[in-house]
Chain A
């Protein structure tokens, strides 16, 4: 099941629609990392609202996506982790360390905008 990736301004939005197997997850990872360059994206949102299970492989792949896109110059934020999914993840010790998360798509976009503002401000202040 391929995950549709939309472009909205400087951001890419990947909306997971149904359960993903390992191959789907790897495809999503490679696709996002490539498109960050092709579309010159500054941020990536992965919406996992539709996922009812996040196991160790899914969690690790999302973390890889966040770290790989960051190395390519884009921030990733994972949105829509459901309460029961969060509970199961904590029981398994899957904390998504170093990965930004937000409640939903709206909050995710807000997070990326704030990040961009902060980066722009920092760049301006560095100019003497």
Chain B
């Protein structure tokens, strides 16, 4: 755990969106977008965050069927940011390293665009256990 992570404080503005079907993908990104707006992110950053949430929620629908997206406001070292956590109890990612390689995507642009999500956000961490599920944690900071 980096020093920064240790001091990152959640602002208790948490929203949890259960992902049960593709309609929840839309809901998750709308909830995320309005939180991003209230934190003070620019229109462009709001679009980047909403798109990242959409891809993460879509991965849940595609690969695990159900799961949850959690968003919250963050404060760390005088910086303000946003936290996005996508969690599922699906089959897990076989090879996380490979899934993070630029250009890696299963089924031609359909989901699992993890390198893309990393480009949309500032930080991203993927934890996955085969047969147990996946947790993707991403952060974006106000500039």
Given contacts A84-B44, A87-B44, A94-B109, contact A55 B22 (CB under 8 A): no
Instruction: Give the contacting residue for A92; candidates B25, B46, B116; CB below 8 A.
Output: B116
> In the complex the two chains form, is B48's CB within 8 Å of A22's CB?
no
> In the complex the two chains form, is B26's CB within 8 Å of A93's CB?
no
- Count, A-B residue pairs, CB within 8 A: 76
B contact patch SS: helix
> Is B29 part of the binding interface, using a Cβ–Cβ cutoff of 8 Å?
yes
Segment of B6-14, B50-58, B91-99, B127-135 in the binding face: B50-58
- Residues of chain B with a CB closer than 8 A to A91's CB: 48, 51, 116, 119-120
- Residues of chain A with a CB closer than 8 A to B137's CB: none
Q: Closest approach, in angstroms, between the C-beta of A24 and any C-beta of chain B? A: 9
What is the interface residue range for chain A against chain B? 20 to 34
A contact patch SS: helix
Query: For the complex, what is the distance from the CA of A55 to the CA of B30, rounded to whole Å?
Result: 13
Binding site for A on B (CB under 8 A): 22-23, 25-26, 29-30, 33, 43-44, 46-48, 50-51, 54-55, 58, 103, 108-111, 113, 116-117, 119-120
